[in-house]
Amino acid sequence: MNVFEAVKQSVTTRQAAEHYGIHVGRNGMACCPFHNDKTPSMKLDQRYHCFGCGADGDVIDFIAALYGLGKKEAAVQL
């Protein structure tokens, strides 16, 4: 198992978002940090998907996009 697989199996996108200060509702919805979002349009669970801007991916993609990191740096940060 490589570092990417290990991270994806141990941390959900929802857990990472909450850890980094994004409020996630009980239904798994949050305001998207990738566009000016006033109402929750991003679904967070094992992966994430924004119904407003189309952002989509796994936990590593989420942290990479949130902080402008490469996938390797995002995996290490997680």
Reported as type and span, the H/E element at residue 43 is strand 42-44
On whether the CB atoms of residues 60 and 48 are closer than 8 A, the answer is no
Our count of domains for the chain comes to: 1
pLDDT in tens, 16-36: 999 999 999 999 999 999 999
Judge whether residue 1 has pLDDT over 90.
no
Reported as type and span, the H/E element at residue 16 is helix 13-19
Q: In DSSP terms, which residues pair with 60 in a beta bridge?
A: none
CATH code of the domain in which 31 resides: 3.90.580.10
Q: Would you state the structure tokens that stand for residue 15, as one six-digit string? A: 């857990």
Entry pTM: 0.92
CA-CA distance, 2 to 48, in Å (whole number)? 21
Tell me what pLDDT residue 57 has: 98
- Structural domain harbouring 44: 3-77
Residue range 47-70: mean pLDDT, rounded: 97
